[in-house]
């Protein structure tokens, strides 16, 4: 059962992007303050860090995690881990509001059995980008991805099942949520370089919460 925090938003239409992918504009609504407060508690336990790629490059996006599993990257590869490699402690628990948001958004998009166990948290500064990639480190591709935008607007790049396929460019504003699964689950996606700006709640950055069923 979904938390009452987002029950009043079930009338928000799911705007189709491509088959299996939907945009819920402004879905976060007035819960943005609560999400950001709880984010600060998460970061107090698992601070921002810039992970390394398997090839040894440092990622420009700062990251953290919450939930039973957290996504990590280093010389050994991309994977999920139950403990924060910086502290060797379990990742912070996923707040009920985070879980409720992810489940409610997924249900509106037609994925009513989504139960996330991982939330990857990304921080984008001016000029930061995320190259086209697939989310394929999870065990069950039948489960969707739920991506929440907070702060500065960004251009979401949504490609096809091959890296060379045409890319759809969609502007995501504060509070927007994108859900993709089914035939779109393994589509390439990314974020174009973030334009400079300032948001009253996040300052000069964009925060992205990406929920997955990883285990």
**Do 165 and 96 contact (CB within 8 A), yes or no?**
no
Identify the band that residue 13 occupies on the pLDDT scale cut at 50, 70 and 90: confident
Residue 46 carries which DSSP code? S
Identify the band that residue 12 occupies on the pLDDT scale cut at 50, 70 and 90: confident
pLDDT value, residue 2: 46
**pLDDT exceeds cutoff 80 at 10:** no
Gap between the Cα atoms of 64 and 84, Å rounded: 9
Gap between the Cα atoms of 72 and 29, Å rounded: 30
Structure tokens at 96: 């009920």
**pLDDT exceeds cutoff 70 at 6:** no
**pLDDT exceeds cutoff 90 at 128:** yes
**Do 196 and 204 contact (CB within 8 A), yes or no?**
yes
| Domain boundaries of the chain, sorted by first residue | 17-212
pLDDT value, residue 85: 97
Within 12-158, residue ranges assigned H as helices are 32-45, 96-108
Mean pLDDT, all residues of the chain? 95
* Nearest alpha-carbon partner for 156 in 126, 177, 125: 177
* Nearest alpha-carbon partner for 154 in 171, 169, 174, 168: 171
pTM: predicted TM-score of the whole model, two decimal places: 0.95
CA dihedral over 161, 12, 36, 5, signed as positive or negative: negative
Identify the band that residue 5 occupies on the pLDDT scale cut at 50, 70 and 90: low
Largest CA distance in the chain: 46
**pLDDT exceeds cutoff 60 at 151:** yes
* Strand 130-133 relative to strand 70-74, pairing: unpaired
Gap between the Cα atoms of 66 and 84, Å rounded: 9
Task: Dump pLDDT digits (tens) for 191-202.
Answer: 999 999 999 999
CATH topology of domain 17-212: Jelly Rolls (2.60.120)
Task: Dump pLDDT digits (tens) for 130-140.
Answer: 999 999 999 99
> Average of pLDDT values for 144-153?
98
**pLDDT exceeds cutoff 70 at 52:** yes
Q: Give, in order, the Cα–Cα distances in Å from 200 to each of 79, 158, 203.
A: 34, 28, 6
> Average of pLDDT values for 50-61?
96
Task: Dump pLDDT digits (tens) for 71-122.
Answer: 999 999 999 999 999 999 999 999 999 999 999 999 999 999 999 999 999 9
């Amino acid at each position: 059962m979904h938390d009452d925090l987002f029950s009043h938003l079930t009338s928000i239409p799911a705007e189709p992007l491509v088959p299996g992918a939907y945009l819920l504009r402004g879905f976060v609504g007035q819960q943005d303050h609560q999400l950001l407060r709880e984010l600060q508690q998460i970061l107090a336990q698992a601070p921002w860090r810039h992970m390394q790629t398997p090839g040894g490059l440092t990622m420009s996006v700062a990251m953290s995690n919450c939930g039973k599993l957290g996504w990590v990257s280093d010389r050994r590869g991309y994977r999920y881990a139950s403990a924060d490699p910086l502290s060797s402690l379990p990742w912070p628990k996923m707040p009920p509001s985070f879980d409720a948001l992810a489940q409610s958004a997924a249900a509106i998009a037609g994925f009513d059995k989504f139960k996330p166990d991982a939330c990857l948290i990304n921080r984008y500064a001016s000029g930061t980008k995320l190259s086209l990639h697939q989310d394929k480190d999870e065990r069950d591709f039948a489960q969707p991805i739920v991506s929440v935008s907070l702060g500065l607007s960004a251009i979401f790049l949504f490609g096809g099942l091959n890296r060379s396929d045409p890319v759809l460019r969609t502007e995501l504003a504060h509070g927007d949520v994108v859900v993709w699964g089914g035939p779109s689950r393994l589509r390439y996606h990314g974020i174009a370089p973030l334009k400079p700006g300032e948001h009253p709640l996040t300052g000069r950055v964009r925060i992205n919460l990406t929920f997955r069923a990883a285990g």
